[in-house]
């Protein structure tokens, strides 16, 4: 009991918590669930930083508050896109060289860029908190925008296996669009924080992820 009591449960891997700590019977159920399902989940393996993009600072190719990222392509053509909620821009880098390929911000029509996702053609979709999705071509050219009248506060983006765009619309659950901007369906419904939720009720739609099995997590 003393040994388990001295452990910092928040720093232990999920595997160790499950295999050793839970089985010991020396940690109460509530304390165990708090450690296992904590806000900052620990992983069973360590990851090393291989590359860095966008050094901290102001100016072209630099970040202050990097938020969401997206990756497209392979090898020498692989690209990484990231939004900066501090500098209000999105920047795209070559993953191999680290060179900044282009940036888009206020001068390009973006007001509060937030989420990013690439489609199969390499077009970059960027959510803007004012209620729009902007689409940029591979060279950074503006292609189109959509979502007006359908989105309130779009945040995280993710493509499904059918290449439909799932949008976490804060205050309006999840909206799904075709690549041309046609809305095809909504998923779930919004509930105010603190209220009883229930099936399909979402209180804070910050991000969305499409899993390999097709399930959508918010």
pLDDT value at 150 more than 80:
yes
Partner residues linked to 118 by β-bridges:
124
pLDDT of residue 194: 57
pLDDT value at 135 more than 90:
yes
pLDDT value at 171 more than 70:
yes
Q: What is the pTM of this model?
A: 0.74
Task: Dump pLDDT digits (tens) for 39-54.
Answer: 445 556 666 777 777 7
Task: Dump pLDDT digits (tens) for 186-205.
Answer: 876 666 655 555 555 555 56
pLDDT of residue 205: 63
pLDDT of residue 9: 42
Task: Dump pLDDT digits (tens) for 13-49.
Answer: 444 444 444 444 544 555 545 554 554 455 566 667 7
Between these two residues, 66 and 197, which has the higher pLDDT value?
66
Between these two residues, 142 and 11, which has the higher pLDDT value?
142
How many angstroms separate the CA atoms of 218 and 209, rounded?
A: 6
pLDDT of residue 196: 57
- Report the pLDDT averaged over residues 87-99: 94
pLDDT value at 116 more than 90:
yes
pLDDT of residue 208: 83
């Amino acid at each position: 009991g003393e040994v388990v009591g001295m452990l910092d449960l928040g720093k232990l891997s999920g595997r160790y918590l499950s295999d050793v700590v839970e089985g010991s019977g020396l940690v109460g159920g509530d304390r165990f669930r708090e450690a296992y399902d904590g806000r900052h989940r620990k992983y069973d393996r360590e990851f090393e930083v291989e590359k860095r993009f966008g050094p901290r600072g102001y100016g072209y190719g630099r970040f202050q508050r990097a938020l969401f990222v997206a990756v497209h392509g392979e090898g020498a053509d692989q690209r990484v896109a990231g939004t900066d909620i501090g500098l209000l821009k999105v920047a795209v880098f070559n993953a191999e060289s680290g060179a900044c390929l282009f940036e888009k911000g206020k001068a390009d029509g973006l007001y509060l860029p937030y989420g990013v996702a690439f489609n199969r053609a390499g077009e970059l979709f960027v959510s803007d908190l004012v209620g729009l999705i902007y689409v940029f071509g591979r060279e950074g050219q503006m292609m189109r925008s959509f979502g007006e009248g359908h989105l309130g506060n779009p945040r995280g983006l993710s493509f499904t296996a059918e290449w439909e765009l799932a949008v976490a619309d804060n205050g309006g659950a999840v909206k799904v669009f075709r690549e041309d901007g046609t809305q095809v369906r909504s998923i779930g419904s919004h509930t105010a924080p603190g209220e009883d939720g229930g099936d399909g009720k979402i209180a804070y739609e910050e991000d969305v992820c499409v899993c390999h099995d097709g399930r959508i997590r918010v």
